[in-house]
Amino acid sequence: MFLLFFSSCEEQKYAKVGYQTNPKFTWSFAQFYGDYYSNYNISNNVLTLHFFTDGLKLVDGQLVGQGQYLILEDVFLAPNDTLLPKGTYLPKETGEPFSYFCGKYFYDNTDKNPAGAYLYYIDGNAKSSIKLIKEGKINVNTMNDSIYQIDMSLKTADNITITGTYKNTIPHLDMIRKRHQRKVYFSK
C-alpha cells in the first residue's frame, strides 16, 4: 500500500502540462520598437504582442496563476505604422509588413531562451512549459477603431494546432521612448 501511495505522488509531481488548443485570451498589450532591425536593412517597424488567458495576472510585476501566455515577438509593420493594423499576418523571416518570426531557441552561454513566436503554459504548482510556434495565420480586425478582434490558427513545433481568439483593446507601449526613461502609451 505504501508503494502505491508513493507511486501516485510521483505521477502528480511529474504530470505532463497540457495546453488548451482553443484558448480565449482575455488581456493583452503590445510593445512598439520602431525600426529595431534597421541595422539589418529592414526598415519596417516592429511590435511584440503579448496575450494572456483569464487565469493569469500580474502581482508585484510577476505573472502568477495558471493559464497560457502567447508571445509574438517581431511582428512587422509598415514604416508609417505604430499601432497594430488590420490584416493577415504570416510567418516569414524577411521582416516584411504583416509577418512575424517563427519560434526558435537561441543560446546565451548555457541559457536556452525562446525567441520569435512561442506559447507558455504557466501553472503555479508545476514548472512552466514552452511550445514554439512553427507556422500559422493571425487575422487582425478592429471594431469601432479601438476593439481588436484577433483569430489565430497556429501550429507548434510538435504539431499541435492552437486556434486562439482575442477580443478587447490592446494598449501599445512605446519602447523607444521607454529607453529614454519615459513611459508613453499609444491609444486607439
User: What does the pLDDT look like over 56-82, one tens digit per residue?
Assistant: 988 888 888 889 999 999 999 999 999
Please give the residue range of the domain that contains residue 48: 22-186
Q: Is 142 part of a structural domain of the chain?
A: yes
pLDDT for the residue numbered 127: 59
Count of domains forming the chain: 1
Quote the pLDDT of residue 6: 34
pLDDT of 173 reads: 93
Report the mean per-residue pLDDT for the chain: 85
Examine residue 53 and state whether it is found in any structural domain, yes or no: yes
- Assigned domain for 182 exists: yes
Give the E-state strand segments of 17-116 in sequence order: 24-34, 45-53, 56-59, 62-65, 67-77, 87-91, 99-100, 104-108, 111-115
| pLDDT tens digits along 25-36 | 999 999 999 999
Q: Is the pLDDT of residue 182 over 50?
A: no
**Is 110 domain-assigned?**
yes
Q: Look at residue 7 and tell me if it is in a domain.
A: no
Report the percent of the chain where pLDDT is more than 70: 82
Instruction: Check if the beta carbon of residue 90 is closer than 8 Å to that of residue 137.
Output: yes
Can you give the pLDDT at residue 46?
A: 97
pLDDT tens for each residue of 115-161: 999 999 888 765 578 999 999 999 999 998 889 999 999 999 999 99
Residue 176 falls inside a structural domain: yes
**pTM (global) more than 0.85:** no
Residue 4 lies in a domain: no
On whether residue 74 sits in a domain, the answer given is: yes
Rounded to whole angstroms, what are the CA distances from 29 to 124, 147, 166?
A: 22, 12, 11
